[in-house]
Amino acid sequence: MSRIAKNSIKINKEINCKFENGLFFAKGKLGEKSLNINSSYTVEINNEEILILPKDEKDKLNPSWGTTRALVANLIQGVSDGFSKTLELNGTGYRASISGSKLKLQVGYSHDIDYEIPKEVKVECPKQNIIKLYSFDKEVLGATAAKIRSYRKPEPFKGKGIKYENEFIFRKEGKKK
């Protein structure tokens, strides 16, 4: 039996939740989002907590029970508090700037990279070498951060590239003479 799935999800009073026809809806101060839930589960919404329970007793061993609970918990946290990721640009001349709905990256290529920012994601550049991403959708935020990072992944010799804020880059020793 899943240990994560048995736990309830605490919700604030300012979040409106409802479950009907296999869809879970949540609306909070940052936006609203829906999640399609497997038909073998039911969602019980009490005053300040949500429980996800299997309809059949044999489904308690189903591994997707914990995953479903985690997806609902991320949805609740997203519409109430939101998520953020920070990217750092390390390298000589590496910089980022925002122009309209595009993120302009100068990361060592002969041309600048213009990345179209998804509408669910807010981007800030407090410094030229730092990119801060905010969103209420954890999945879109992670995909956006991974796409931006993929333009110039950190290399192991000098550590140049785009990396996550707390990411450790394993360094290699160069050639010996």
> pLDDT at residue 169 above 60?
yes
pLDDT surpasses 70 at 102: yes
Instruction: pLDDT band for 2, please (50, 70, 90 cuts).
Output: low
Is 163's pLDDT higher than 90?
yes
More confident residue, 41 or 62: 41
For the question of whether the overall pTM of this predicted structure is more than 0.75, the answer is yes
> Looking at the predicted structure, is the pLDDT value of residue 170 above 60?
yes
CATH architecture, domain 3-80: Alpha-Beta Complex (3.90)
* pLDDT at position 55: 84
**CATH number of the 83-164 domain:** 3.90.930.12
Listed residue (52, 53, 47) closest to 15, CA to CA: 47
pLDDT of residue 61: 65
* CA terminus-to-terminus distance, the chain: 58
Q: What is the pLDDT of residue 160?
A: 94
Confidence of residue 155 (pLDDT cuts 50, 70, 90): very high
Mean pLDDT value across residues 34-57: 87
The residue extents of the domains of the chain are 3-80, 83-164
The mean per-residue pLDDT over the stretch 102-109 comes to: 94
Query: In CATH terms, are 3-80 and 83-164 the same topology?
Result: yes
91 CB-near residues (< 8 Å, 6+ apart): 107, 108, 152, 158, 160, 161
